[in-house]
Amino acid sequence: MQPAQFAVFGHPISHSLSPQIHRAFAQQFGIELDYRAIDAAPDDFAAAVHRFFGDGGRGANVTLPHKAAAFALANRHSEAATRVGSANVLTRLADGGLAAHNTDGDGLVRDLTERHDVDLRGHTALLLGAGGAARGVAWNLLDAGVDTLTIVNRSPNAADELADAIGDPARAHTRYWEDLADIGSYDLIVNATSAGVLGAALQLPFSLIGARALCYDLSYGAAAGSFLAWAQAAGARYAFDGLGMLLETAADAFELWHGQRPDTESVYQLLRRQAA
């Protein structure tokens, strides 16, 4: 019998660790699966997804730049996906339709609070970016207890839309990208832009780094390198990439699809050793 079919969609996607991660999870339970990376340009995404599920695919992870499009394709939406308007997981339903989920925010908070033992309560947070990745984590950071969330994006309209959607102006507000040098320092700085994936540097001022600052890039590996180098040069107390978040979101998807939750820490340590 053919193994169950799963995939991750993105553009680009060749760097993705998701196939290795899901295979490692499957080994923990003796599950056979076929998990592959599918590179789909934005104009081809919808057709590629329908083709994958039409050929028997059971579930898919979705990464940049397709999370909003994935949400739009689905027939049903989880509460988290509905709240943020984007999806990082698609699951085939029994009637042939698609269910959309968003596990990004849960994955980020779990990585920070459980793996890295960080208490987010009372933090002043700066969120760089206002696209699908930023939307996926903004509400969860507030739910985890950050005191304020300042959203900055090169396109101010997108930042304003995200702040309006959150609907808590006392805690979530926006500032202009051009004002970064003058807006003070923060305890938590989250890079949710696609700059690293695209090979671009952000050119951020060191003045953003507070005395206990934790800097976190939602990307991982080489894509997070520039931001983490800036954080370390600026004197951040902690600087983490998004590998742990990736593991936690992958575990959420795996549990949705297989009904069993894998151990993430052993796979996290394996991938860190491989990277070193």
Compute the distance between CA of residue 29 and CA of residue 163 in angstroms, rounded to an integer.
42
Q: Which residue has the tokens 């909003």?
A: 68
Q: Are strands 76-77 and 98-101 parallel, antiparallel or unpaired?
A: parallel
Can you list the pairs that 194-201 forms with residues at least 24 positions away whose Cβ atoms lie under 8 Å? 194/64, 194/65, 194/129, 194/131, 194/133, 195/226, 195/227, 196/222, 196/223, 196/224, 196/225, 196/226, 196/227, 197/12, 197/64, 197/223, 201/226, 201/230
Q: Please give the structure tokens belonging to residue 226.
A: 């520039």
Compute the distance between CA of residue 203 and CA of residue 222 in angstroms, rounded to an integer.
17
CA 233 to chain centre: 24
Q: What percent of the chain is helix, strand and coil (3-state, nearest 5)?
A: 45, 25, 35
For 10-69, give the DSSP string: ESS-TT--HHHHHHHHHHHHT--EEEEEEE--GGGHHHHHHHHHHTTEEEEEE-TT-HHH
Whether residue 65 contacts residue 231, with contact meaning beta carbons closer than 8 Å, is answered with no
State phi, psi for 251 to the nearest 5 degrees. Answer: -65, -40
Active-site positions read 67
Q: Please give the structure tokens belonging to residue 74.
A: 């689905």
